[in-house]
Amino acid sequence: MMKYKFIQLVGSLFMILTLSACVTTGGAPQGQVAMLDTSERSHLDNTLNMTDLMALAEKLTEKMLVSNAVAEWGEKRPRLIVADLINETDDDNIPEEMIYDRIKGIILESGVARIMNKNSKADYILRGVLSSTQAGNNQGDHVREFRVTLTLSSFEGEDFGNWDGRINLAKSGGRPLF
């Protein structure tokens, strides 16, 4: 018991010292980086963070699972193909397969549909697209938005649902953005 309290005390002191070392003395923020949405995770530049992208994919998949379109399935458990994620960004280093696997895994865990192979007969198809836009100015400020869109449709082309989410990143060229 005493050893446990000692470990707690040492851990608490370590956290206090670590967090106090992160305090700035004013001026520009470290790395000249600012988030557009303070509820998002912090970044050192305006490149995409895999943790953020995976969290966004999870959030969108959960939104899909609680939607009216999926609720109408009831106990049917229709056959669903999860199509490969299409990367329309200028970043070829994004591992689309990891995002695809996470979306597919969440759907499998939910049990609402039977996941089929891409060449199988299915009732629905879920398509995903990752895109990005970027804007900047003469002072070196850059704003980059990443967007993931999931679309649930039939093979006849009827859309049943569309869910999208964004990650906004900003980097200042020399002065604080905010």
Instruction: Specify the range with the lowest mean pLDDT, choosing from 97-101, 117-121, 158-162, 169-173.
Output: 169-173
**What burial class does residue 40 get, using C-beta atoms within 10 Å of its C-beta: 0-12 exposed, 13-18 middle, 19+ buried?**
middle
Amino acid at residue number 26: G
For residue 27, what pLDDT is reported? 46
Tell me: the pLDDT tens digits for 167-178?
877 666 655 544
pTM higher than 0.75 for the full model?
no
| CA atoms of 98 and 84, how far apart (whole Å) | 10
Residue 70 has pLDDT above 90, yes or no: yes
**Mean of the per-residue pLDDT values of the chain:** 78
What local confidence, expressed as pLDDT, does residue 38 receive? Answer: 47
Domains of the chain: 29-171 (3.40.50.10610)
d(CA 129, CA 133): 13
**Cα angle value 49/127/167 (rounded, 5°):** 25
Distant-in-sequence, close-in-space partners of 153: CB < 8 Å, separation ≥ 6: 124, 125, 127, 159, 160
